[in-house]
Amino acid sequence: MGNPTNHYTYKIEWSDEDEEWVGTVLELPNLSWLDKTPDQALNGIQQVARECVDDMTKQGKEPPIPLSDRYRSNQSTDVPNKETISAMREAKRVAKDEHTRGYRDMNALFAHLNA
């Protein structure tokens, strides 16, 4: 794969603290870019991500795989897989059943189930 940054997950949001738009990239959480417009923030963070990945490659390091590619290739991601989603649904169902026994939130229920 060449430079994977075209598949990376970018987020652009307003920063009240900085009074500018901030761009971030999920796969490279230490990077950010501030700019005056959302478009400039996106262009800036994309450029910084490309430069970061180029530097990593030159140093012999493996750049992060884009989340979308990890999901397709069935590699581990922070995105819940089908088994996790099924377990969460089952936990909600059990939580409704257990509600009358005093488990009013998911943390208490999980603590009970894992005890």
pLDDT at 100 over 50: no
Element (H, E) at 11: strand 10-15
Q: What is the pLDDT of residue 15?
A: 96
Q: How far is residue 107 CA from its own chain's centroid?
A: 22
| Vertex 88 angle, CA 68 and 106, to 5° | 125
Q: What is the mean pLDDT of residues 53-66?
A: 94
pLDDT at 21 over 60: yes
Q: What is the pLDDT of residue 86?
A: 63
pLDDT at 52 over 80: yes
Backbone Cα Rg of the chain: 20
